[in-house]
């Protein structure tokens, strides 16, 4: 519908210009007609809001303000020129129309890039509440800053709405805890549909940001923190640029630094959430404008004996290695190469941790990733995911046909354009994320709640 709206606005603009060029207008008349045309475009937008896909959201906010400002400016110019009887020249009329078209197009970029994504249907009995806080790790200095500040890890909570009230009335069970880590230059909302699906089924979900690895986040002073440009460039070179010519040893050193930062973040969040569930908050918490009372009450309902970890891409790799902790009950890796399980380089090939993986592990991969892993197995290449799954006491792996890397996040539904640039397959996006969420829920239900048994198809 965004394209339809844009076409109608452009037709209106072109029609106005053609009409004016066919007349010999004085500036007074042209200014009035310009005002009428601008108001007509604003009216068209307001009328089309009743149609699906057009609204006052961030996708159209820029357009709304542009249309309002243009109408106001045209009205002011009409007042200024109300006695001006000089002929309006043709060139300024054309220039005005071209400039209007450029401005309207620029203001509609968010509407073209992002879709009218409203989330996926929930299968649980609960509505979902959200809160957020920032955890401050006083044991670590922020390595991306030079001011000696401590590492801050923003955390975002998803949990059953009104659960505390229901629990008080019905002596309900405590909530399993699931902690999520996003991918490289991703951000905490990358898998919102997954968090909400889990929360609607009685889980307390924490999605953490890795500052400077996250596309953007904020610190406790409200400062906007964007992804580190060096990290972006290095990640792209290591992953997709053969001309960068990193040696295996250099790649190992680079990725080990990434993984250490992320694992430290996730370990810190696990420990801090466990302490908070026992009522021990210390000085690590910054609540800002969030409801501290509600957060504390809900955290008191967390069952610290039932903790699951999950993540996408680098976040999945983070979850796998942190998942070796004795207090972790289940781990989900969404299309992540398990870089944290590489312990070194020998004879130009990675050395993989071959200790048995005792935590139940679910790996969901895209189709090319799955095929590459299969080929690695045939030629006896030491690929981390293969080694860990082979040594897992309870390890599961499957793939979704036609999927690519970003299909295991909400991005293809939120922005098909960006997902296409970063890795979007031919699979139906709704099917892929719904299948992912279903398997994740069934897996955690089995290993964190003790409900039923878990099984997988070879592919979906």
- The pTM of the full predicted model, rounded to 2 decimals, is 0.89
Q: Which of 188, 199, 203 shows the shortest CA–CA distance to 122? A: 199
Do residues 319 and 310 lie in contact, with contact meaning Cβ atoms separated by under 8 Å? yes
pLDDT digits (tens, 9 = 90+) for 235-249: 888 877 666 678 889
Do residues 394 and 330 lie in contact, with contact meaning Cβ atoms separated by under 8 Å? no
Return d(Cα 382, Cα 252) in angstroms, integer. 14
Whether the per-residue pLDDT at 216 is higher than 80: the answer is yes
In terms of pLDDT, which residue wins out, 1 or 297? 297
Name 318's Cβ contacts closer than 8 Å, sequence gap at least 6: 181, 259, 262, 263, 265, 266, 311, 336, 340
pLDDT digits (tens, 9 = 90+) for 409-435: 999 999 999 999 899 999 999 999 999
Q: Which of 408, 440, 425 shows the shortest CA–CA distance to 182? A: 408
Q: Which of 107, 122, 152, 141 shows the shortest CA–CA distance to 9? A: 107
- Please give the mean pLDDT across all residues of the chain: 92
Whether the per-residue pLDDT at 169 is higher than 60: the answer is no
Stretch 400-404: mean pLDDT = 97
CA torsion angle 116 117 121 126 (round to 10): -110
Return d(Cα 128, Cα 195) in angstroms, integer. 9
Residue 346: alpha-carbon gap to chain centroid: 36
Q: What is the DSSP letter of 6?
A: H
Return d(Cα 148, Cα 167) in angstroms, integer. 43
Beta bridge partner(s), residue 170 = none
Report residue 408 as tokens.
Answer: 């295991």
Whose tokens are 């409203």? That residue is 118
Report residue 363 as tokens.
Answer: 């790996």
pLDDT digits (tens, 9 = 90+) for 58-89: 899 999 999 999 999 999 999 998 888 888 88
Return d(Cα 48, Cα 264) in angstroms, integer. 49
Whether the per-residue pLDDT at 382 is higher than 90: the answer is no
Residue 243 pLDDT: 64
Return d(Cα 12, Cα 48) in angstroms, integer. 14
Residue 171 pLDDT: 58
pLDDT digits (tens, 9 = 90+) for 184-211: 989 999 999 999 999 999 999 999 999 9
Stretch 287-292: mean pLDDT = 91
Do residues 395 and 331 lie in contact, with contact meaning Cβ atoms separated by under 8 Å? no
SS3 content of the chain, % helix, strand, coil (to 5): 50, 20, 30
Residue by residue, DSSP assigns 54-110 as: -SSSHHHHHHHHHHHHHHHHHHHHHHHTTT--SBPPHHHHHHHHHHHHHHHHHHTHH
Beta bridge partner(s), residue 206 = 157, 179
If pLDDT is split at 50, 70 and 90, which confidence band does 162 have?
confident
């Amino acid at each position: 519908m965004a394209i339809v709206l844009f076409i109608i606005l452009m037709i209106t603009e072109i029609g106005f210009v053609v009409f004016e060029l066919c007349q010999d207008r004085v500036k007074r008349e042209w200014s009035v007609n310009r005002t009428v045309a601008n108001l007509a475009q604003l009216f068209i937008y307001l009328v089309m809001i009743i149609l699906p896909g057009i609204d006052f959201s961030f996708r159209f906010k820029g357009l709304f303000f542009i249309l309002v400002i243009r109408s106001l400016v045209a009205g002011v110019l009409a007042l200024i020129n109300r006695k001006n009887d000089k002929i309006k020249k043709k060139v300024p009329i054309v220039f005005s129309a071209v400039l209007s078209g450029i401005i309207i197009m620029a203001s509609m970029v968010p509407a073209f890039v992002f879709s009218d994504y409203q989330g996926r249907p929930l299968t649980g009995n609960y509505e979902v509440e959200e809160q957020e806080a920032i955890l401050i790790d006083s044991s670590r200095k922020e390595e991306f800053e030079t001011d000696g500040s401590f590492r801050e890890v923003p955390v975002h909570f998803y949990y059953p709405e009104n659960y505390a009230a229901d629990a008080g009335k019905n002596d309900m069970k405590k909530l399993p805890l699931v902690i999520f880590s996003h991918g490289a230059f991703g951000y905490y909302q990358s898998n919102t549909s997954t968090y909400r699906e889990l929360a609607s089924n009685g889980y307390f979900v924490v999605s953490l940001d890795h500052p400077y690895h996250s596309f953007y986040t904020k610190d406790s002073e409200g400062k906007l923190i964007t992804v580190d440009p060096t990290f972006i460039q290095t990640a792209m070179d290591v992953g997709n640029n053969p001309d960068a010519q990193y040696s295996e040893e250099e790649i190992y050193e680079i990725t080990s630094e990434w993984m250490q930062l992320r694992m430290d973040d996730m370990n810190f969040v696990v420990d801090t959430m466990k302490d908070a569930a026992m009522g021990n908050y210390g000085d690590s918490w910054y609540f800002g404008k969030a409801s501290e009372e509600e957060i504390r009450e809900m955290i008191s309902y967390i069952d610290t004996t039932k903790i699951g970890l999950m993540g996408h891409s680098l976040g999945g790799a983070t979850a796998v290695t942190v998942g070796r902790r004795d207090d972790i009950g289940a781990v989900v890796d969404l299309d992540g190469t398990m870089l944290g399980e590489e312990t070194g380089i020998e004879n130009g090939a990675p050395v993989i941790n071959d200790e048995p993986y005792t935590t139940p592990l679910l790996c969901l991969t895209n189709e090319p990733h799955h095929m590459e892993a299969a080929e690695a197995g045939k030629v006896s290449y030491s690929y981390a995911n293969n080694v860990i799954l082979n040594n897992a006491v309870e390890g599961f792996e499957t793939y979704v046909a036609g999927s690519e890397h970003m299909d295991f996040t909400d991005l293809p539904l939120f922005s098909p354009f960006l997902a296409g640039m970063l890795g979007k397959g031919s699979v139906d996006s709704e099917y892929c994320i719904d299948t992912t969420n279903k398997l994740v829920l069934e897996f955690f239900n089995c290993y964190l709640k003790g409900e039923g048994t878990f099984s997988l198809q070879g592919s979906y």
